[in-house]
């Protein structure tokens, strides 16, 4: 396995400076944002797609530092009921797939997207319970009329360009847990897999270790981000929490740097279980800790994970 980082967190640095920061912390790979929600702080896929010199500079900057690119990320909502936003995110996705092919990167990360409740919607509508029964009617329409046709088409497109899609299971989108991730893969194409981020699973009450076992070879990429559950706030209000992420004292959960939500025993187990299901790719640090600065959070995460990954890589299975 390799330690990596999603370099959008170094958005105030130049691309080359971000690579140097990653390298200095012991990272071996980088994940690059190319559009949609992560933005284009370093690479704008649509803008450089036909610029061979710009693409060559990216490749040379990464290669010269002994790094690799684990994935290009354009987390977006191409199913958005606002047609302009959906089209913009779709175009970002298409450009990112084509750029990945040119860079020799085999994985593109995004969200599944989420439609509205009908053709007449203005905003996305996330169904979280089966009653009143209207919700199931909405959910059936979202999957069968919008999501599955869209992702079948994108699966075929990506296959033509030698690219896999790693969907990040994220509440607020159609794919948010294990069964929805596996459903999209089953119905739309087996080159659609998962960007495994345990932080979004923790607060929903899932066990990420069991999720890894169930997802198996559909895991194409991994994010390293932790979650801290506030016992009192959760006891009072449950885990569905619409308070701003900055309202840390009153929220039921907050995202934390790895090791600040769950101890090293969990993270050791996660790395080991990923290996057991055949994953040997990148563990990519994603920093969204509202308590720590970017530098502090990243540095602590890199130090914490480097030790785990190096120990795992140095060990040998007794049956090997």
Using the 8-state DSSP alphabet, how is residue 146 labeled?
I
pLDDT digits (tens, 9 = 90+) for 14-62: 999 999 999 999 999 999 999 999 989 999 999 999 999 999 999 999 9
Q: Which CATH class is domain 2-314?
A: alpha beta
pLDDT digits (tens, 9 = 90+) for 123-181: 999 999 999 999 999 999 999 999 999 999 999 999 999 999 999 999 999 999 999 99
Backbone angles phi, psi at 272, to 5 degrees: -65, -45
Q: Report the pLDDT value the prediction gives residue 7, as an integer from 0 to 100.
A: 98
- Confidence band (pLDDT; 50, 70, 90) for 319? very low
pLDDT tops 90 at residue 308: no
CA distances from 227 to 2, 217, 234, 253, 254 (A): 22, 25, 13, 7, 6
Exposure on the CB side of residue 120, measured as CA atoms within 13 A:
0
d(CA 252, CA 191): 35
d(CA 252, CA 60): 44
- Mean pLDDT, range 170-193, rounded to an integer: 98
Quote the pTM value. Answer: 0.95
Q: Which helix (H) or strand (E) holds 107?
A: strand 107-110
- Confidence band (pLDDT; 50, 70, 90) for 317? very low
3-state SS class at 75 = coil
Q: Report the pLDDT value the prediction gives residue 147, as an integer from 0 to 100.
A: 98
3-state SS class at 164 = strand
How many CB atoms lie under 10 A from the CB of residue 211?
A: 20
d(CA 167, CA 244): 25
d(CA 278, CA 271): 11
Q: Which helix (H) or strand (E) holds 26?
A: none
3-state SS class at 29 = strand
- Every domain of the chain and the residues it spans: 2-314
Exposure on the CB side of residue 14, measured as CA atoms within 13 A:
7
For helices 178-188 and 208-215, the axis angle rounded to 10 degrees is: 20
Which tokens in the block code for residue 254? 């907050």
pLDDT tops 70 at residue 314: no
Q: Report the pLDDT value the prediction gives residue 307, as an integer from 0 to 100.
A: 85
pLDDT tops 90 at residue 315: no
- Mean pLDDT, range 285-298, rounded to an integer: 96
Q: Report the pLDDT value the prediction gives residue 313, as an integer from 0 to 100.
A: 58
Q: Report the pLDDT value the prediction gives residue 138, as an integer from 0 to 100.
A: 98
Task: Give the percent of the chain with pLDDT over 90.
Answer: 95
Which single residue is written with the structure tokens 């061979």? 52
pLDDT tops 80 at residue 64: yes
Contact between 107 and 80 under an 8 Å Cβ cutoff? The reply is no
Exposure on the CB side of residue 72, measured as CA atoms within 13 A:
31
How many CB atoms lie under 10 A from the CB of residue 104?
A: 10
Cα-Cα-Cα-Cα dihedral of 190, 221, 243, 246, to 10°? -160
d(CA 175, CA 177): 6
d(CA 157, CA 6): 25
* Chain mean pLDDT for the chain: 96
Backbone angles phi, psi at 2, to 5 degrees: -120, 145
Backbone angles phi, psi at 107, to 5 degrees: -135, 130
Backbone angles phi, psi at 194, to 5 degrees: -130, 135
Q: Report the pLDDT value the prediction gives residue 219, as an integer from 0 to 100.
A: 98
pLDDT digits (tens, 9 = 90+) for 237-275: 999 999 999 999 999 999 999 999 999 999 999 999 999
Q: Report the pLDDT value the prediction gives residue 311, as an integer from 0 to 100.
A: 63
């Amino acid at each position: 396995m390799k330690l990596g980082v999603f370099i959008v967190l170094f958005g105030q640095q130049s691309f080359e400076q971000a690579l140097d920061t990653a390298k200095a912390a012991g990272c071996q790979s980088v994940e690059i944002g190319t559009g949609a929600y992560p933005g284009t702080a370093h690479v704008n896929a649509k803008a450089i797609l036909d610029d061979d010199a710009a693409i060559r500079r990216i490749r040379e900057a990464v290669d010269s530092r002994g790094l690799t690119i684990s994935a290009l990320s354009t987390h977006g909502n191409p199913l958005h009921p606002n047609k302009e936003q959906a089209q913009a995110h779709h175009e970002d996705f298409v450009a990112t797939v084509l750029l990945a092919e040119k860079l020799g990167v085999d994985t593109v990360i995004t969200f599944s997207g989420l439609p509205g409740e009908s053709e007449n919607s203005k905003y996305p509508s996330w169904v979280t319970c089966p009653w009143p029964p209207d919700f199931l009617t909405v959910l059936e329409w979202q999957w069968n009329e919008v999501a599955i046709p869209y992702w079948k088409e994108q699966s075929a497109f990506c296959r033509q360009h030698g690219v896999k899609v790693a969907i990040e299971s994220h509440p607020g989108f159609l794919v948010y847990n294990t069964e929805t991730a596996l459903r999209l893969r089953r119905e739309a194409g087996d080159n659609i897999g998962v960007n495994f981020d345990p932080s979004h699973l923790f607060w929903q009450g899932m066990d990420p270790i069991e999720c890894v076992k169930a997802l198996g070879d559909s895991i194409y990429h991994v994010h390293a981000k932790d979650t801290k559950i506030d016992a009192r706030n959760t006891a009072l209000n449950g885990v569905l929490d619409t308070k701003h992420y900055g309202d840390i004292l009153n929220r039921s959960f907050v995202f934390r740097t790895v090791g600040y939500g769950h101890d090293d025993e969990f993270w050791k187990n996660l790395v080991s279980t990923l290996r057991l299901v055949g994953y040997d790719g990148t563990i990519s640090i994603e920093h969204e800790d509202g308590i720590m600065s970017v530098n502090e959070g990243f540095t602590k995460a890199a130090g914490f994970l480097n030790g785990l990954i190096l120990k795992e890589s140095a060990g040998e299975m007794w049956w090997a």
